[in-house]
């Protein structure tokens, strides 16, 4: 079973498994196929995370997040008057961080796949060469970029048809990208980092004032990390949540799950249940804004943050009858809870609190408008043997920096995920930690949290989402729906969602959220974002515990597609 944002890509994954490939082969093929059929988010010019659980129980997290180039500097987006140039980290060559996707997918295939790179890439090359019919979504999203593409002639040359935007149903061929993919398939990932493709990129960067050099590309390595895990008992079953470590934010979901562990959750039509989840998110996001970053550059009190004793402290700060103002909350001191994670004994009595990250201006962006639904992309794969992959990768926002290379692919704008200026929100309205400021070789903090759940030791749920920080709320809700509320796989994805990220101190509701529940929240003191918006796009697979059947749960909000056999 493959579930992704695009039917053509899900079909590629199923095709690979039909030919005898395993879930990792399929995931790599889907990753390259999305780079062709979903150029707004699928990519070879970006980066991401792949969480793998092999049928033998082994788990591994492949971090192929982008990296700041050697010439990057802490204040590179701060103008001489001390304010942040918010566009420079989002549009154009200086917004681009060293891409990781090609190295990451190739490493996954070599380590856990069974196929040759050329075979896993063949469907993507075919789609680029022969073309595919442009969907309504693709036509609309390309068109929405008109003002950005107008600044970059190569983007216009490749992604418009003789100066006109593609109409739905027209065939879109990408000969430049096909040639690039062919070279990678033939020469391996080093083609992208040290071969002609890398040299082309370095030359374009130099010519256009970007920072990435051939040395930066040659130095890039994906990192294999231990996933984070947390254990829960729900209705007599032992659950394990396996999720994304720093530089991503799986610990935020675990903190929230820990706070919510003893709380009765009824449904999202019950304002009281929604209240508890929002308050858990508010506190976990405040910790994200204080502590999380690339672990090679900072000490993160991760064990403390994920300890159940720390969750007890945070839970006690929640008023069951009242929304907590974000400005006022003080979190505990997670470092003091060190190794107390899941220890059955009594929790240490620690009452010290620490100041959390503060914002220094009132630049609350209208985050419903700032971060739209499309951009990143997540896919989940489970094969017949029980190998599972959850993969989320991104160019950051739609079409990344807006810059396409002459080799036919878009470049990310992942530099905006760094803290350009502590206290100033990024494009998702996020306040980010001091530890996440820009430095050469650093990976920016991410919200992408591919996640896998086990139930009584068996594979149970594979999930992940697109949507910037809303990914965390969307994935958390999918987990709560499946693990705590016992929803079916599709119902777990369809249920209305909501999002709170500490600052701004508002709650984002989905259009399908019940108005009477919203009024109930208002009575508890909540304020809402100015408009409604989707909270992530989730693409998941549930495993029926009785039959073992793989239940593809595609996102209905902007239709994704499940493809299985």
Active site residues: 376
The strand pairing partners of 171, in sequence order, are: 133
417 binding ligand DON? (CB under 6 A):
yes
Binder to ligand DON among 260, 448, 453, 562 (CB under 6 A)?
448
Between 213 and 394, name the residue whose CB sits nearer to ligand DON. 394
Task: Using DSSP, state whether 495 is helix, strand or coil.
Answer: coil
Binding test (CB under 6 A) with ligand DON, winner from 4, 141, 394, 481: 394
Closer by beta carbon to ligand DON, 383 or else 414: 414
Measured from the CB of residue 10, what is the shortest distance to ligand DON in angstroms?
A: 19
Q: Does 91 bind ligand DON (CB under 6 A)?
A: no
Return the range that interacts with ligand DON (CB under 6 A); candidates 86-94, 222-230, 390-398, 435-443: 390-398
Question: How many CB atoms neighbour CB 184 within 10 A?
Answer: 25
Least distance from ligand DON to the Cβ atom of residue 54, Å: 25
Q: Looking at the DSSP assignment, which residues form a beta bridge with residue 52? A: 60, 389
Per CB under 6 A, 205 contacts ligand DON: no
- Is 420 a binding residue for ligand DON by CB under 6 A? The answer is no
391 lies in the site for ligand DON, by CB under 6 A:
no
Segments in 74-116 forming alpha helices (H):
101-112
Q: Taking the C-alpha atoms of 513, 514, 515 and 519 in order, what is their torsion angle to the nearest 10 degrees?
A: -90
Contact between 86 and 202 under an 8 Å Cβ cutoff? The reply is no
Out of 155, 251, 432, 447, which residue is the one contacting ligand DON (CB under 6 A)?
Answer: 447
Q: Note the helical H segments in 269-354.
A: 271-291, 302-305, 308-316
| Residue 473 interacts with ligand DON (CB under 6 A): yes or no | no
- 557 lines the binding site for ligand DON (CB under 6 A): no
Instruction: Using the rule CB under 6 A, give the single segment among 70-78, 332-340, 369-377, 493-501 that binds ligand DON.
Output: 369-377
Q: Does 368 bind ligand DON (CB under 6 A)?
A: no
Pick from 229, 193, 196, 153: which is nearest to 69 by CA?
193
Beta bridge partners of 454: 240, 459
Q: Single out the residue of 31, 45, 301, 468 in contact with ligand DON (rule: CB under 6 A).
A: 468
Whether the Cβ atoms of residue 378 and residue 450 lie closer than 8 Å to each other: yes
**CB 558 → ligand DON: shortest distance, Å?**
11
396 binds ligand DON (CB under 6 A): yes
Stretch that binds ligand DON, among 178-186, 345-353, 461-469, 506-514 (CB under 6 A): 461-469
Binder of ligand DON out of 309, 381, 471, 529 (CB under 6 A) = 471
Q: Is 377 in the site for ligand DON (CB under 6 A)?
A: no
The neighbouring-strand residues paired with 551 are 542
Q: How many CB atoms are closer than 10 A to CB 319?
A: 11
Which one of 125-133, 147-155, 307-315, 464-472 is the stretch in contact with ligand DON (CB under 6 A)?
A: 464-472
Closest CA to 426 of 61, 7, 64, 87: 87
Within 37-56, which residues bind ligand DON (CB under 6 A)?
none
Tokens linked to 65: 């997040």
Is residue 458 classed as helix, strand or coil in its secondary structure?
Answer: strand
CB 480 to ligand DON: min, Å: 20
Return the range that interacts with ligand DON (CB under 6 A); candidates 56-64, 123-131, 351-359, 444-452: 444-452
451 secondary structure, DSSP code: E
SS3 sequence, 179-201?
HHHHHHHHHCCHHHHCCHHHHHH
Tokens of 264: 């009765």
3-class SS shares of the chain: helix, strand, coil, % to 5: 35, 15, 45
Indicate the length of the chain as a whole number: 565
Q: Interface with ligand DON by CB under 6 A: which range of 145-153, 211-219, 418-426, 445-453?
A: 445-453
Least distance from ligand DON to the Cβ atom of residue 288, Å: 11
Does 378 bind ligand DON (CB under 6 A)? Our answer is no
Residue 227: which residues within 8 A CB-CB, separation 6 or more?
A: 51, 59, 60, 61, 242, 243, 244, 245, 250
Among 402, 425, 467, 474, binds ligand DON (CB under 6 A): 467
160 or 297: CB nearest ligand DON: 297
Q: Is 443 in the site for ligand DON (CB under 6 A)?
A: no
How many residues bind to ligand DON according to rule CB under 6 A? 15
Task: Strands of 244-363 (E only): list them.
Answer: 331-332, 353-354
Task: Write down the least CB distance from residue 358 to ligand DON, Å.
Answer: 21
| Residue from the set 10, 197, 244, 376 that interacts with ligand DON by CB under 6 A | 376
The answer to whether the beta carbons of residues 110 and 475 sit under 8 Å apart is no
Considering beta carbons, is residue 421 or 466 the nearer one to ligand DON? 466
Nearer to ligand DON, 128 or 508 (CB): 508
Rounded Cα–Cα distance for residues 417 and 310 (Å): 27
Q: Which is nearer to ligand DON, 113 or 444 (CB)?
A: 444
Backbone angles phi, psi at 56, to 5 degrees: -80, 5
For residue 425, the minimal CB distance to ligand DON (Å) is 14
How far is C-alpha 409 from the chain's CA centre?
20
Where would I find the beta strands (DSSP E) of 141-189? Answer: 171-172
Q: Does 429 bind ligand DON (CB under 6 A)?
A: no
- The span from the CA of 432 to the CA of 418, in Å, is 8
**Residues making contact with ligand DON (CB under 6 A):** 371, 375-376, 394, 396-397, 414, 417, 446-448, 466-468, 471
């Amino acid at each position: 079973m493959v579930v992704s944002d695009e039917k053509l890509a899900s079909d590629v994954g199923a095709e690979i498994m039909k030919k005898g490939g395993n879930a990792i082969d399929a995931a790599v093929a889907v990753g390259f196929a999305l780079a062709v059929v979903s150029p707004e988010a699928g990519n070879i010019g970006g980066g991401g995370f792949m969480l793998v659980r092999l049928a033998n129980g082994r788990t591994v997290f492949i971090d192929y997040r982008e990296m700041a180039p050697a010439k990057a500097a802490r204040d590179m987006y701060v103008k001489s008057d001390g304010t942040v140039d918010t566009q420079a980290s989002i549009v154009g060559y200086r917004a681009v961080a060293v891409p990781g996707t090609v190295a990451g997918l190739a490493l996954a295939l070599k380590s856990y796949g069974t196929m040759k790179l050329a075979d896993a890439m063949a469907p993507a090359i075919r789609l680029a060469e022969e073309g595919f019919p442009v969907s309504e979504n693709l036509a609309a999203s390309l068109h929405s970029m008109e003002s950005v593409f107008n600044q970059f002639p190569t983007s216009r040359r490749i992604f418009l048809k003789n100066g006109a935007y593609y109409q739905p149903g027209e065939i879109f061929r990408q000969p430049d990208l096909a040639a690039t993919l062919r070279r990678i398939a033939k020469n391996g990932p080093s083609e992208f980092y040290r071969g002609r493709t890398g040299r082309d990129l370095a030359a374009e960067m130099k010519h256009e004032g970007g920072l990435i050099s051939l040395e930066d590309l040659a130095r890039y390595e994906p990192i294999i990390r231990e996933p984070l895990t947390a254990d829960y008992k729900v209705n007599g079953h032992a659950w394990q949540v396996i999720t994304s470590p720093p530089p991503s934010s799986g610990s935020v979901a675990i903190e929230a799950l820990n706070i919510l562990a003893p709380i009765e959750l009824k449904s999202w039509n019950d304002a009281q249940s929604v209240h508890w989840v929002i308050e858990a998110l508010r506190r976990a996001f405040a910790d994200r804004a204080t502590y999380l970053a690339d672990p090679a550059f900072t000490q993160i009190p991760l064990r403390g943050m994920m300890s159940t004793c720390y969750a007890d402290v945070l839970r006690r700060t929640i008023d069951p009858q009242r929304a907590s103002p974000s400005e006022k909350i003080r979190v505990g001191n997670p470092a003091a809870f060190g190794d107390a994670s899941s220890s059955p004994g009594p929790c240490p009595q620690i009452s010290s609190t620490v100041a959390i990250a503060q914002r220094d201006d009132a630049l609350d962006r209208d985050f419903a408008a700032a971060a739209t639904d499309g951009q990143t992309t997540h896919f989940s794969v489970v094969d017949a043997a029980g190998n599972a992959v959850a993969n989320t990768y991104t160019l950051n926002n739609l079409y990344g920096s807006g810059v396409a290379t002459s080799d036919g692919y878009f470049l990310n704008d992942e530099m905006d995920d760094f803290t350009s200026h502590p206290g100033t929100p990024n494009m998702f309205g996020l306040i980010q930690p001091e530890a996440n400021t820009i430095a050469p070789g650093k990976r920016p903090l991410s919200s992408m949290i591919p996640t896998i759940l086990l139930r009584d030791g068996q594979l149970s749920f594979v999930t992940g989402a697109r949507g910037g920080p809303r990914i965390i709320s969307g994935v958390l809700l999918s987990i709560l729906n499946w693990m705590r509320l016992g929803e079916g796989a599709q119902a777990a994805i369809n249920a209305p969602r909501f999002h709170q990220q500490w600052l701004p101190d508002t709650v984002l509701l989905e259009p399908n959220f019940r108005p009477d529940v919203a009024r109930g929240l208002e009575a508890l003191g909540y304020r809402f974002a100015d408009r409604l918006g989707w909270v992530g796009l989730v693409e998941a697979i549930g495993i029926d515990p009785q039959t073992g059947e793989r239940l593809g749960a595609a996102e209905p909000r902007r239709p994704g597609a499940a493809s299985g056999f």
